[in-house]
Every structure is written in C-alpha cells, then in structure tokens.
Structure 1
Amino acid sequence: MDAHAAQFALVGHDLAALGVSEMIEQAIAALPVDTIQEMPWLHASSMIQPPTNRWFSGLAFGSPSPVFPTPYSYIQTDQGFVFGLPHVTSSRHTISGPASADIDVNVGAYGYRIAAHDLASVTIEFQNEIGRVLGRAVLAEGVPYVSYTAEIAHDVTLSEAFSMEYESCATAHVEGSHYGLVTTGAFSARSIRLQAGQYVSLIAFPQFTGESPAQIEREVLRIARHATFPVLRTEVTAQVLSDEVVTSIRYVARENGPVAVVRLPHHEVREPLDNLGTYATVSGTAPLVSAKVLTWRTPRVEPRVHLDLTRVAEDRRATLAAAAVQDIGEVPRAPEDTYFGGKALFRDANLLDLATQLSVPGADAFGQGLEERFLEWFKAAADSHAPRTFFYDDVWSGVVGREASFGTDLFNDHHFHWGYFLHVAAVLGERNPQLLEQVRESVDALAFDIATPVPDTEFPMLRVFDVYKGHSWASGTAPFDEGNNQESSSEAVNAWNALGAWGKLTGRTWLYELSVWLLSLEACSARTYWTNFDQSDPVRTSYRHSVIPLVWGAKHDYATWFSGEQSAMLGMAVLPMAPVADYLGGDSDRIMQNLEEIVGFFGDYDQVFGDYLLMYRALAGTDAAEQAWHLAQDIPAERIDDGNSLTYVLAWIAEHLV
C-alpha cells in the first residue's frame, strides 16, 4: 500500500500553483546539511518522513509508548495491540486518564510499522514472520472505534469473550467499561477469522443517554452501524473569514458511510448535531456525534508584533523613555543555544521597537548591533560548526540548531524556539529591507519546519500542530506513558503570531492566512484547556487549581518540566506576553482568580515570572492595570525574565491603560 499523502486545503489558495514546494526547496538550500542526534529505531515505512510531534509519535520511535486518539487508548504489542477506554479521575493536582489494558488483540504479528498518516489519523501495518503484511489498523482522532482490515487470511484472538448481545454487534463488559465488536469475518466469542478485505471494528461505547434496555439497545446499534464503515483517512480544510476561522475534518470511511466523532469543548458548533452519548475525557465531558465532517468555528485572532504607544499619556511615555535608555545601555546578551539565544533577540527586538517609537537616543546604534547579532545565526558556511548555527537535518527531516537546548535535536519544542526568531525577523526585516533579503530563505526554513502546508516536501506537513485538538505538541518522539504533551501554550501562540508577521512582511497572503488559522485555534485551546477551562465540568471535580500548566494526551497536570515554583505554573502559560497576548483577556474575574492563587491576597510579584504576571494582571481591567503599572516600577531587576525588559513590561501595561 502506498502511503497516502496528508490532505490539507486552505480555502482561497492553490498552494501548489503558488509554488510553495519550490519555496521550501530554496529554504533548505540556504542552510548547511548535517545531523547531530542518532534517531531511535523508527517503526515507519521508508515512504514517510519521521513523524515527530504527533499525538501518535510514541508509536514511531524506539520502544512504543501508549497513544491516546480520544476517547480510547491504544498500546502497541509484539503480536497486535491493546485497546481500552481510560477511566478518568481527578485529584488535587491532576486530571488523569491513563491507558487502559482492557482488551488485548492478537493478530499474530511479528512486527509493525506506521504505513501512512495524515492530520487526524494514522494507519498501522502488522507483519508476519516473513515480513508480509497481515492487515492494517486505522486510528482516527475522535472516532471511538479502531478498525483492523485483513490483507491476507488469518485469525484474530481477543483476551475477553464477546457475546452477541445485540443483533449484528457483540459486546463485552470489562472493569466498568462497555465495548462492542462488529466484523465481516467469522466470529466466535474470543476469535475472528478474517479473509482478505474483511475487517473487525472494536468500539469503546460512551455513557448512554437512554435508561431502559430498549433505549440502550437502540443507542448501541446506532453506534455499531457507524463502526461497520471503517475510517480510512482524514482530510482537513481551513478557512479564514473576517471575524472567525472555520476548521473541517472530513473522515473518509469505507463506502462513504457515517462516522461517529467525539466533539471536544473547543469544537464550537452552531448547527445541532446528532448526539450518540458522552465520554469523560481529560479534556472535559465530550459528546459523541454523528458527523462525516466535523466542522467548528473559532474567533479570529490577528497577528501583532508591535505595541502601540501613540495614545499613552505623556507622563507615562517619559517613564518608558527613561527605562528604555537604561535597558539599551546594558551589555547585550548573546546565548549560543536556540532557546535562550532566541529569547535574547526577542527581548532586544521589542526593546528596539519601543525605543524607536519613543525616539530614545542611541536607538539606531542599538538596532544595528541587534541586526549583527541576528545575522550571525544565518551566516554559517556549509562546513561550519559554530554554535550559533542552523542546519537542515536530512535524517530527521527538519531544521536544528547546533546548540540544541531542551532536546530540539530530538525535535522537541521547535515552535517555541523558532517563534522567537520569526518575531525578530519580522521586526528587523520591516525596519531594514536589505536585512530581509539577506535572511529570507533561511528564516523561511524555520517557518516551514513547523508549518509546511503541502505534502511531499522535505518537511512533514504542519509538523507540530494537532488539528483535532486545536493545539501543538512539544515532544518530538513522545516516549511517555501519558502520550505527547505541551507546556507553554503561550509560546506556541507566539510562534503562530510571529509566523503571521513574517508572512505579511514577505507579502505572502497564503502564509499570513495559514498563520491566522493556526494562531486562532491555538489561542482558543490555550484558554479552553490551560488558563480558562470550565471549572464546573465533572471530570475536574477534585482538581483544586484554576490553571493547568501541562497538558498531556492522558492527563492535565499542575506541574512544569523545570520548576516547582507556583508562579511558574501560570507564568509558563502566559510568557512571553507578545503584543498578541490580549487573547488571554476577556474574563477579568478569572484572571484575578488565576493570579490570586499565585501571588496571594497581598499581591506578591517578587517571584519567578513576576514580570509576566504583572502584565497578565493588566488584562483584568483599568484598575488592575493601574495597580500593575505602579507595582512594575518597583519589581526587582532580577525578576525581569531574560526574554523581557522593564521597558517592555511598562509599555505593555501602559498600552492597556488608554
């Protein structure tokens, strides 16, 4: 079977005709080629690129880890797979739904590999002892059944006995969960004999709405009918309108049959949908609906990389100018790794923008120095091993920095890191068109590494973005029992915001609209799952915090990767407070609730990320912003993050006081 190409359409743009693939080739040609990290054993067809940063990446690299397509969990075994419905519980610090080992499915395999994947599904091939394909399983996000189709005749055995409780649907009850089985093969309790082309679909049933046995039977059979049309693949369409973006996932099923899909909290729909039951998921209580095409609308968020000081009062402008004079007089920092190096440039780009608006003496000289520091990252010769260097890794199919902090050589956090560089490129390129021409292709390589919108290139399509979940994943290989994860939703938002500014600067409407779509979805999910989640949802009954710092496939956790400081729990969800960060506002009470848990009744901002928390406070209304303005002027210098400056803190707050 040929690996099917991921299907993606950006309405209004023919990406092939626009020459996007050629732009990608030019971007790669602008970088040296190298690799610095050996890849773990890759369980994937040679026809596809290494699938990093996916919800299913745990299957692809090294020893397979559980994955969570929603609503069920899937564990790869040597002989087949284990299928189950996670039992979601909450505690003071965690909402958890670990992988369930309820049903062990043995297809007689000796190996497996990922044969194909697209933006919302993955196809897994199972091989016998001589490497011949036995059959294929398709896991599609949101679909509550996994379908396995035979390539050659063989038997499938199950760890649990299923009984033909209902016409055409066998069922089993395991540890309080209700499962179903439909097949075109020969079924007998614990085994199924499949001929070539025949399938078996295993269903994780939801909580039913019916109370009587007859009502439950009708609901079981309705869902079972959907599972008799196995999902083959998905196709995604994005549309950018004047005040919203529209996302559609089309689930392509056998014989164009119906599909059952779980609708998550951020999937806001206007038309009524056919409700088939509900699931408790770590993302919230979610209905199961009948929808061949899952379409939802999200408020549009516009990219923005400049603060606007034109309406700031003169006395405050004077305070800002004094802070800018001091900040640009400091010795510039130039870390060698891509994360802190990018943050240092980001800090100085924002500072330069403000110093220019305020006509601060020395701004031009500061800008020239910043341009030189920025260009150093893109001047490496083909054989260079200089620390501030980007190169194209032709093993992993992506861009890496020579000093690869936080595992970027394993493709962790690329959108976090590259977002800072894209922001700086947009600010400096607008200021100096000659610089833009010097770095265009190299910066494009960063952009396409995380946001390639076409198939069959040297980068995977939309590497880090999970369309169904509406947000990105940060781990490249996801070697965890909880699936993939993302901590700093706000740095993901920063990446798409900067991508939009880069697209606008380079005159590519398609890239701008692509970024608006990504930005709008990520911002919505950031609020829905990180900072403004529904505290009344039953799945969060025992959770005792108003923010969730770390979102996994199988849990939402009050923790960060690097710090136990309480201020980091919120700080990592708001930094770097780019000009686009107004998306975090809109609910003053929730902002103050989120802050109160961190800074207490007396408002103690003298702690890690206290600068960003003060900026976040400014979104809670005029009075809160006025207090933040005064508190910020007394914040200790050591509390200003290395990606921030006192000038920017004050300017952000001042902009929200007009």
Structure 2
Amino acid sequence: MSVRRTAALTVCAAMAAGASACAGGGDVEPAATTTSPVAVHSLPERPLPEDVVTRVADDLAPPTNRWYSSLAFGASGLPVFPKPLAVTAADGGFGLGLTAPEASADVILAPARTDIAVSIAGAEGPGVVTAADPVAVTVTWGDASMSLAQGWPAVGLTAHSALESEVSVAFAPAGGKVSTAAVDGRVYGVVVDGGDIDGTTLTLDEGGTAQFFAVPDGGDATAFADALGDVVTAVAWSGWAGEDVATTSLDYGTPTVVTMPQARADGAELKCDLGTYATINGPYAVCRAQDVAWDVAAVAPRAALDLDGLTDAERTAIRKALAEDVAAQPELPVDTYFGAKALSRLATLLTIARALDEEALAEDLASVLSEQLRMWGDPERCATETDRCFVYDSLLEGVVGYATAFGSEEFNDHHFHYGYLLHAAAVLGSESPEIVDEIGPVMDLLAADIAHGVGGPMPAIRAFDPVEGHSWASGFSPFADGNNQESSSEAVAAWNAVALWAQVRGDATLEERARWLLASEADAARRLWLAPDLTSFSGFDHTIVALQWGAKRDYATWFSPEPNAMLGIQLIPASPAQAVPLAQVGPERIEQAVAEAAPHGFDVQFGDYLLMYRALAGDSQRTIAWEQARSLPATAIDDGNSRTAMLAWIAAAP
C-alpha cells in the first residue's frame, strides 16, 4: 500500500470510445490475435475538492504509478531512479549522479546525489513531461529535452534549436568521441553528437544531442561511448504467456547500452562486457543491445483450491468453520479497499462451499455477492450515492471509486483494490452468466484501469513496470526515494483476478496480458521481496524485504513496525494462484521468515497468513500449521480471510 494523502481529480461524465486491447506497445507484436474492445460506459461526474497540479504537455495524460511519476506531479525537485542513476529535474535543467547502495540493519539505501548539474540557457522551471510510456519519459524545457529510460544507464539531452548549456564540472577529451570528468572518485562520460563540450560549456546545434553516463565498475568510458547509439526516447514493450513461461520483450529503438540484473543478462545471452553497476537489487550487468527479452515461470490463474484430496477429518473441520463463517457474516464495508476485500472473502467462501457440496451455504453467499456486486457494477450509482460506485477521471484517464481508501483518489493502490472486486465478480460470474452481462461493463473498466493495452481511453498497464517486473503503488510518487510498492502479494492476486475475469468475459487478449503480468509479478515477489539475494548486503539483518522503493529496500511497512506485518503483507490474500509461487521460495527460507515474523506465536496481525505460509514448508510444518490454525484466535484472522479459507489452504497446501 502507498502512503495516504488527500488530493483531487476532475472527472467527466462519459468515456470516449475505446480501441481494441493488445498485449504490447510500439513495434513489438503481442502473441494473442483475438481481442475484444474495452466496454465503454457513461459514468457520472463527481468532481473532487481540489485540482491536481501537473506538469505535462496538453495532449498527454499525466502518468500515474510510474517510476518517474514525480516528474509530472506536485512539488518539483524530487529525484527519480533509472538504475543505477538518480536524476533530478531542477529549475532550468537537471542533475544526475551514480547511486551507491549501502546496507544497515533495516534498510538498503541508495539515496539520490547530484554529481553533475546541467543548466540550459534560457530554460526556467522543472520542465514539462512531453512523452511517457511504461519504460521511458521525456521532460522538455522550451528548446531542449531530457530523456530517461529504465534499463538504459544514460541521460539524453536533445536540442530542438541551437542552444548552450552550462555543466557544473569540466569535461576533458578522453579519446574517441567521449569526454570525461571525475567527481568524488566517480568517473562520468559524455558523448556529444552535433555539438561540442569545452570544459563546462556544452553547445548543441539544432537536433544535436549529449548523452551523460557514469562509467561502470570494471568498465571503460571509451568502450561504453562506442556502444551508445542515439538517445533513447521511447521503448517498445510486449508481454505474453505460454503454458510454461511468460516472456517480456523490450526494444530501445537503437543499438545502445542496457543494464539489468546479472541473472537476467545471463539468461538473455547478451554481450555484457562493459562492466557492472552496484544497485539496491544487487549487481547489474552492463551490456550491448537494442532488443532485450527474458522468460519467467508461468503461473496458472486459479479461482479455487483443489480440495479433492481432503481427509474426512479435514473435510469435517472445514465444513464446521464454513457454517460458522457464513452465519457470522460481518457488516460489509463500503470503500474501495476494505469493501472490495470483503467481497473477495465471500467469493473465496463460495468456491469452498461449492467444492464441499454445501449448496445451501453456497446459495446464501451467492445471494449476498449478487446484491453487492450489482451495486458496485451500477454505472449510474455515483450520480446519487457516495459509496460502492465509480466515476471516470478525464484528466488522469482512469476510474476512481467511492468511497476512497489509502489515497485511491490519487490512483494509489488501484490494482490492489480492483483486483479484489474483479476476483469476486469472476467467481460469481463463472456460475451466473446473467450477472456478467449486468455488471460486465463496469468491471471491464476496472480491468482496463489497471491492465489496459495500447490505445483507447486508458494508459497501458498503468502501474506495471516491465523492466523491474513489478508494479508501483503510488499514483503521484511524492517521495525523495522514488515510487514504491509494499504488498507484492496483492499485486500478484490482482493479475490473477484480471485473468479470471477475462476468462469469464471470453477476452483472450486480456487474459494473456494478465497471465504475463501474473507471472512477472510473482517472479518479482519472490526475487525482490520473499527470497531476495542479499549476498551484497551483509549489513541487512532480515531474510525478506517488506517495501521496495526506487532508491531503497525497507524492512518496514506503512502501517505497522511489527515483524508479523512485514511478512504478512507479502502473503495477503493468499489466493489459490499464489500457492505454487510461494511454495517455490523453499522450505528453509519459509521457516526462517515465519520464525522471524512470529517469534512469540501466531496470535498477531496476519497470524492466519503466517500459518498458511508455514504450511508450504513441508508435511511436518503443514501438520503443525493445521493444529495451530484450528485454535487460532479469531482476532488473528484478517478481515479479508476466514477460518474456513485458512484451513482449506493448509489442507490443500502443495
């Protein structure tokens, strides 16, 4: 979850007609060929109290939930972090510096630094975002533009007419086409095409460019410069999923220098002879490439647990818990997080009731779900009500739900919130086609808000970063450490829900895109949060990371300092699709993480999820978890979970 803040959006009465969804962007073709248009519904206008301050071109939707979103929103002067660099748009120019990660007991931190400042003659203010895609961004000051891209370890400056800039340090020729400067032991290079750099004075002809970079460890400025092509101003991306693997493909538009985790570079069989960079995620290889593609293990979307192998005792215990949970249904919240989460809880109970042939209980659950989803799925409800409904924001080009939660009016956490709703809609819709027709148009818009393809009324894959392989939770990213994501597991659950909804709707293209997002996010959750390689950070005292930022990795959460919260927020809501990816963390690491999270027992927040995770560590741990779960106090069961679901998960643990 991201930090709670208050701001405002302007919303419009109706969306423009949508284009077909697709899996990728630019010149990279998606694998799927079948597609259906995003359903477009008229949503009522509901202006919020204040205007959102943006710094974007008139024809560009302000880019929320990106690694660079702070360039477009709010206060100026916040850095962004295209690894391994930190870049800050300043008044009349920009600064850059090579980050240097350091580890302490609870954090791995690589704060921003400005070793080189570039002042553009005649430029004022922090610039305006004039181009943006999920990987790359361009900021413009009048006749000059700065371009950045994740995975491209350079900063490009392009002159739209002849201009002069002042650089804070003097660069000297270093052979070939590169000039270099040293700052505090770091060596920087610049390659100028269509201009010249003389000491601290940079002149560019119309169309001229300068590319600044930090020389990698073990690298050479001349070799790096020779590998650079044109300035990278856009990155074409694509993602698709097969039965065994999901593939991400990027095209930087020119033969150039790219950087990525060493394991990814090895798997892609790239020529990576330009050195390495130290990053908060470990060593990054520096390679020569234009096109980059890599695979991760596919994850099958799942709506229900496989309960066929239950013992009689397990079946009896789960049935008893199910009857009690259905009889003790709490009052349902109405906001977009806890309200949606409550419906997802009911949907999970419904799948278990069907699996156990408890048809009377299943019908009770389906009745409540049907009533609630019809409210959430009513496109006109926000015209008269203030909760369980949605509006369309024409400024940020997305769907905002009422009542808001955790800054969702700023587009914080939309994938978490809408994932819960889509899960509930998919489960009920799979057995009630008539409700799919009724609520489908609104649910389609929720899916489009978080997982849209290229074209039409929504930004493509709004929150997902194809290079990092995970989502960003903050809409505006008003932080000195870049954007962040806390709950890797809710992100995984969201893409599972989109895939399930796509199956109900018969949308093959959306399903494939969701399967790619699901596999990528599950891989990142394991790689960065739950089973991170921390060999480069001996000072860090924990086995997991709880909060991933652009510039740091925290053992901390937004809501609690307790160790049970650090792990629990990486497990919630323990959807059926998460079981196999979580089990792949491995028994030893699971046991270590659970021991750290619950040193005094499981009567703590997220104690239920900790026991469910423990059950994945092998048969003996599953047996222990089962007995502890049966007696776990109700206060330790999350409001999005139930004793029924906890017991069923443990009994069905792979």
Per the shorter chain, which TM-score range?
over 0.9
| TM, length-normalised to structure 2 | 0.92
Structure 2 residue identity aligned to 1:179: Y
| Cα displacement (A) at 1:407 | 0.2
1:13 aligns with 2:32: yes
**Contact map agreement 1:96 1:554 (CA 8 A) in 2:** yes
List aligned pairs for 1:106-505, cutoff 5 A.
106-108=119-121, 109-111=123-125, 112-127=127-142, 134-184=143-193, 185-208=195-218, 219-253=220-254, 258-264=255-261, 267=264, 269-275=266-272, 276-360=274-358, 361-379=360-378, 380-381=380-381, 383-455=383-455, 457-505=456-504
**Residues 274-293 of structure 1, C-alpha deviation per residue, up to 9 Å, x if partnerless?**
22111110111111111111
1:580 aligns with 2:599: no
Whole-Å separation in 2 of the counterparts to 1:652 and 1:37: 44
SS across alignment from 1:418: helix
**Contact map agreement 2:527 2:533 (CA 8 A) in 1:** yes
Structure 2 residue identity aligned to 1:606: D
1:635 aligned to which of 625, 632, 636: 632
Whole-Å separation in 2 of the counterparts to 1:161 and 1:562: 47
**Contact map agreement 1:179 1:205 (CA 8 A) in 2:** yes
Whole-Å separation in 2 of the counterparts to 1:656 and 1:598: 20
Whole-Å separation in 1 of the counterparts to 2:408 and 2:245: 33
**Contact map agreement 1:37 1:409 (CA 8 A) in 2:** no
**Contact map agreement 1:116 1:124 (CA 8 A) in 2:** yes
Structure 2: gaps (5+ residues): 1-23
Whole-Å separation in 2 of the counterparts to 1:54 and 1:37: 24
**Residues 235-274 of structure 1, C-alpha deviation per residue, up to 9 Å, x if partnerless?**
1122322210111111013xxxx21111125736535322
Residue matched to 2:67: 55
SS across alignment from 2:337: helix
Whole-Å separation in 1 of the counterparts to 2:55 and 2:303: 41
**Contact map agreement 1:201 1:228 (CA 8 A) in 2:** no
| Cα displacement (A) at 1:9 | 4.6
- Taking a change above 3 Å as real, the CA distance of residues 60 and 511 of structure 1, as seen in their structure-2 partners, is same
Identity %: 38
Whole-Å separation in 1 of the counterparts to 2:158 and 2:115: 21
| Cα displacement (A) at 1:392 | 1.3
Residue matched to 2:511: 512
Whole-Å separation in 2 of the counterparts to 1:466 and 1:177: 29
- Taking a change above 3 Å as real, the CA distance of residues 248 and 331 of structure 1, as seen in their structure-2 partners, is closer
1:94 aligns with 2:94: no
Whole-Å separation in 2 of the counterparts to 1:88 and 1:37: 40
SS across alignment from 1:263: strand
| Cα displacement (A) at 1:10 | 5.5
SS across alignment from 1:162: strand
**Which has the larger displacement, 412-421 or 240-249?**
240-249
Whole-Å separation in 2 of the counterparts to 1:320 and 1:507: 33
**Residues 616-649 of structure 1, C-alpha deviation per residue, up to 9 Å, x if partnerless?**
1111111111110011001001111000000000
**Residues 101-138 of structure 1, C-alpha deviation per residue, up to 9 Å, x if partnerless?**
100100121141111112211111112xxxxxx11121
Whole-Å separation in 2 of the counterparts to 1:384 and 1:152: 53
**Contact map agreement 1:69 1:140 (CA 8 A) in 2:** yes
**Contact map agreement 2:85 2:153 (CA 8 A) in 1:** yes
1:40 aligned to which of 38, 52, 56: 52
- Taking a change above 3 Å as real, the CA distance of residues 463 and 169 of structure 1, as seen in their structure-2 partners, is same
Residue matched to 1:131: none
SS across alignment from 2:179: strand
SS across alignment from 2:140: strand
**Residues 173-218 of structure 1, C-alpha deviation per residue, up to 9 Å, x if partnerless?**
1122110011121221101111101111111111016xxxxxxxxx
**Contact map agreement 1:6 1:119 (CA 8 A) in 2:** no
Whole-Å separation in 1 of the counterparts to 2:339 and 2:556: 25
- Taking a change above 3 Å as real, the CA distance of residues 115 and 266 of structure 1, as seen in their structure-2 partners, is farther
Whole-Å separation in 2 of the counterparts to 1:267 and 1:417: 31
| Cα displacement (A) at 1:303 | 0.7
Whole-Å separation in 1 of the counterparts to 2:479 and 2:548: 13
How many residues get paired? 622
1:652 aligns with 2:649: yes
